[in-house]
Amino acid sequence: MSSRIFVIFAMTLVAVVNIDYIGFLNIYERNPSLGLDYTSTSLQFVNTHSADDAIEKNNTTSSQVNTSQSLKFYILNAPRFTSDLIGITPNYNETKSQIASNYYWNVSAVNEELGEIWLHRSFKEFTIEQGRTNDPSEADVFFIAAYNHLAWGLKKDNKTLLVDMYKELIVDPTKPHLLLTPSVNERAGVAAFSKALRQVMNDTSLFWSVGYERNRGWQGVEVNRIIPIPYVVKLLQKKKALSNKNRTKDFVFYAGDTRKVAQKHGGCYRENITAQFMESNDEKNEMNQKIDIRLVGKGPSRLSQHEYNTKMTTSDYCLILCGDTPTSRSFTSAMVQGCIPIRVGSRLRGLCEKPCVNRWGWDVSGLKYPHLPYSDRIAWNEFPEVDEQKFIDDGYGELEKLFAEYDSSKKARIRSVMEDTHRGWVYGWGDPVRSVEFGEAALYIWKSFQDSVKSEIAQS
């Protein structure tokens, strides 16, 4: 008798919880202005926690991916390290949401911390036609979303709990898994997180990660398992389209700091590259009218964001200099603002040619695995690159040769590519916690990941 009463009580409790839960979904369906697609978010959490019932963990070692068609992905995430941090629970918490927004927009040390939430939210917006499935048994690949940087910033980064919760979410270790948390340092524990989850896979090569470059120290996986993605540019509002009306022909712009650490880590001396352009030179006066290249500090000499953006939108070219790692924020800024990037040196292509040195903190990934995003879509060999040592020896001469090579028709072809792919460099506009204005970065990254997975499987 007592057991029957217990069953009835349990069924009643489940019914009440479900009614409350459905009510919660309906509330947010009626309030889309709150920003997130709360319905799909919450349903995803239900599926995530029921995934253990949908799939039994497979003990085979081969990947079970069907490479003959477009792949399907399923998102794994623990609310403790995603939705709870931004107040998206059955009882919406406006205070938590505001705290998260303030952290990402005003407190975070670098823009790149925003990548984790932009990517997760963007992929949740994907439709079935775009490859997302709500049924883990249908998935060819799995995405892992976790807000490591936000948790760290809010002092809620229990790394042991983080690993334990996500290990429990992995239901098919025979399929590729992609971590959606890009990082630029070790403090948020992304690399350690990756290394722990790799051990759950039947084969560690099944674990992938996005990354602002192919950097094992940042992402905790091998360079051939990192999908290069753009750096994050904070954008307040949409622009109708790229405009090239106000650009000065062959004008070259660069402004950045010295990056002292770059000298030790990568043999990159920005002073050596820029000094010739910052000194008075009457013989080059005509050329200097088309050049604004300078090193700036953190004081009054530093450009405001508005001044920096204005320079990028009115210059024909933007120099992309070496750093302590191959990539730089200015490369993505140039692509977003429509300024043709001139790569100084071959580091972004995966090489390390003199004066580059291969030391601590970054990886020489090789030509097969460049640090450049979207190499499956953009022919980067069409974009200008100059030899780093030759540019140090005679930057004026190298620029003159480049101007002669890149005539109006060649520049027009490059600008066409930049315009066609512009939204792929944008994660979104406005507050990453609340905005419903997404770019197409996630769409481009999804294609890059599919192409990479299929290519690796074909070669295995």
**Can you give the CATH number for the domain in which 300 is found?**
3.40.50
**pLDDT at 324 (0 to 100):** 80
Number of domains in the chain: 2
Average pLDDT over residues 182-192: 93
Q: Provide the b/e sequence for 441-454 (b: ≥16 CB within 10 Å).
A: bbbbbbbbbbebbe
Q: Is residue 12 part of a domain?
A: no
Task: Give me the pLDDT at residue 165, please.
Answer: 98
- Please report the pLDDT score of residue 6 as a whole number: 40
pLDDT, position 64: 59
- Whether 187 shows a pLDDT value over 80: the answer reads yes
Look at residue 221 and tell me whether its pLDDT is greater than 60: yes
- pTM of the complete model: 0.85
Residue 232 reports pLDDT greater than 50: yes
Tell me if 395 is assigned to some domain: yes
| pLDDT confidence band for 89 (50 / 70 / 90) | confident
Give the burial class of 2: count Cβ atoms within 10 A of its Cβ; 0-12 exposed, 13-18 middle, 19 or more buried: exposed
Tokens of residue 26, six digits: 């309906």
Percent of the chain whose predicted confidence (pLDDT) is above 70:
83
pLDDT > 70? residue 45: no
* Residue whose token pair is 């695995």: 369
Which contiguous run of DSSP H or E holds residue 248?
A: strand 248-256
Q: What would the mean pLDDT of 416-440 be, rounded to a whole number?
A: 96
What mean pLDDT do residues 325-346 have?
A: 92
Residues 6+ apart with CB under 8 A from 278: 293, 294, 295
Is there a single domain that holds both residue 218 and residue 274? no
Do 194 and 337 belong to one domain?
Answer: no
- Pair (312, 363) in one structural domain: yes
Phi, psi angles (nearest 5°) of residue 91: -115, 95
Could you tell me the pLDDT band of residue 67, with boundaries at 50, 70 and 90? Answer: low
Mean of per-residue pLDDT scores for the chain: 85
Model confidence at 56: pLDDT above 60: no
Inside any domain, residue 211: yes
Same domain flag for 206 and 287: no
Task: Average the pLDDT over 173-182 and give the result.
Answer: 98
Region 88-94: mean pLDDT is: 87
Instruction: Note the pLDDT of residue 299.
Output: 65
* Bridge partner list, 132: 73
How many Å apart are CA 243 and CA 360, to the nearest integer?
40
Domain coverage including residue 392: 248-425
Asked if the structure places residue 14 within a domain, the reply is: no
Q: Which residues of 58-77 are buried (b: 16+ CB within 10 A; e: fewer)?
A: eeeeebebeeeeebbbbbbb
> Between 301 and 264, where is the model more confident?
264
Task: Mark whether 204 and 63 lie in a shared domain.
Answer: yes
| Range of lowest pLDDT (32-46, 192-206, 445-459) | 32-46
Same domain membership, residue 194 and residue 174: yes
Indicate if 218 and 319 belong to the same structural domain.
Answer: no
Does 408 lie in the same domain as 384?
A: yes
Q: Where are the alpha helices (DSSP H) in 34-175?
A: 38-54, 94-102, 115-124, 148-153, 159-169
- Range with the lowest mean pLDDT among 56-70, 198-212, 348-362? 56-70
pLDDT at 63: 52
- State the Cα–Cα distance between residues 407 and 410, nearest whole angstrom: 5
275 and 211 both lie in a single domain:
no
pLDDT over 50 at 110, yes or no = yes
With cut-offs at 50, 70 and 90, classify the pLDDT of residue 240.
Answer: low
What do you get for the CA distance between the two ends of the chain, in Å?
A: 60
More confident residue, 303 or 424: 424
Torsion 276-282-287-290 (CA) sign = positive
Q: What is the pLDDT of residue 332?
A: 96
Q: Is the pLDDT of residue 93 over 70?
A: yes
Task: Give the whole-angstrom CA distance, residue 54 versus residue 419.
Answer: 43
Q: Determine the length of the chain.
A: 460
pLDDT at residue number 246: 86
User: CA-CA distance, 246 to 313, in Å (whole number)?
Assistant: 8
Please choose, from the candidates 458, 460, 456, 459, the residue with its C-alpha nearest in 3D space to the C-alpha of residue 227: 456
24 assigned to some structural domain: no
Which of 44-53, 241-250, 319-328 has the least mean pLDDT? 44-53
Residues 6+ apart with CB under 8 A from 257: 270, 295, 296, 297, 298
Dihedral (CA of 40, 42, 43, 45) sign: positive
If asked whether residues 388 and 280 sit together in one domain, one would say yes
Q: What per-residue confidence (pLDDT) applies to 458?
A: 81
Fill in the amino acid letter for 279.
E
Region 87-94: what's the mean pLDDT?
88
Cis peptide before 176 (omega within 30 of 0): no
**181 within domain boundaries:** yes
Q: Residue 127 pLDDT > 50, yes or no?
A: yes
- 429 by DSSP, 3-state: which? coil
Q: What is the pLDDT of residue 442?
A: 99
Q: Which long-range contacts (CB under 8 A, 24 or more apart) does 436-443 make?
A: 436/32, 436/35, 436/36, 436/37, 437/238, 438/118, 438/121, 438/122, 438/125, 439/122, 441/118, 441/119, 441/122, 441/229, 441/230, 442/118, 442/119, 442/122, 442/123, 442/126, 443/130
Q: Which two tokens stand for residue 61?
A: 């070692």
Q: Which of 44, 18, 41 is nearest to 29 (CA)?
A: 41
CA-wise closest residue to 156 among 77, 218, 96: 96
Residue 243: predicted pLDDT: 74
Q: Are residues 340 and 230 in the same domain?
A: no
Question: Is 252 within the bounds of a domain?
Answer: yes
pLDDT band at 19 (very low <50, low <70, confident <90, very high): very low
Confidence of residue 216 (pLDDT cuts 50, 70, 90): very high
Residue 20 domain-assigned (yes or no): no
Burial of 266 (0-12, 13-18, 19+ CB in 10 A): buried
Q: How confident is the model at residue 220 (pLDDT cuts 50, 70, 90)?
A: very high
Split at pLDDT 50, 70, 90, the class of 245 is confident
Q: Is the pLDDT of residue 13 over 60?
A: no
Bridge partners of residue 91, in order along the sequence: none
Does residue 256 share a domain with residue 368? yes
